Structure 1
Amino acid sequence: MSTLNAGVHGTAQLLTENDPVSEMIRRAVRLEAAPDGRSVLLIDTDSRKPGVHRETRYEITAAELIAAIRAHGTGLHANCAPISAKSSMPVLPGTTETRPDRV
């Protein structure tokens, strides 16, 4: 029996830019769970200009992030190959969601 883990948790480092000379991190972009677990934060930390440290935060719910990825992302088969425009996407039983054909 499976259980749904309600709430967002964890972090993911999406981009890190290092200064090749000083080896200091100049820019970092990460996804992070909000403290209340209700949303996801995209945190962009920028220290590329000397003496300037800027942090920009964007917030989105997990459901909105999932919808955005489904709407704008490229679908992948189970083996992570992109789904071609000609492949059929059958509807999952009892839902309106589609899935790639099994490989």
Structure 2
Amino acid sequence: MSWLILFVAGLLEVAWATGLKFSEGFTRPVVTAVTVAAMIGSVWLLGVAMRQIPLGTAYVVWTGIGALGSAVVGMLYFGEAATAARLGCLLLIALGVTGLKLLG
């Protein structure tokens, strides 16, 4: 269950990172409120997951999901570059997160 909680925390990290983009520098109050709620939820769930998952593993998996997910959102919705080198680096992040899950 802790791994599911950590995964949801990572997805909320993607949500708040995306929300930062849509908040336009915190000038859109509703988007800003949703973004802050996602931030709080993400960190809270990370803390809950850390009851069972070691600190280093939980934090790296959480940031890995956030980084990977945010990069994919950027490529799909904001036209960011999807070069072979960038995709290869993202694959390395995914492999690292998967490895920590399998070993942790």
TM-score scaled by length of structure 1? 0.25
Which protein has the bigger strand share? Answer: 1
Q: For CA contacts below 8 A with separation 6 or more, give which structure has more relative contact order.
A: 2
TM-score scaled by length of structure 2? 0.25
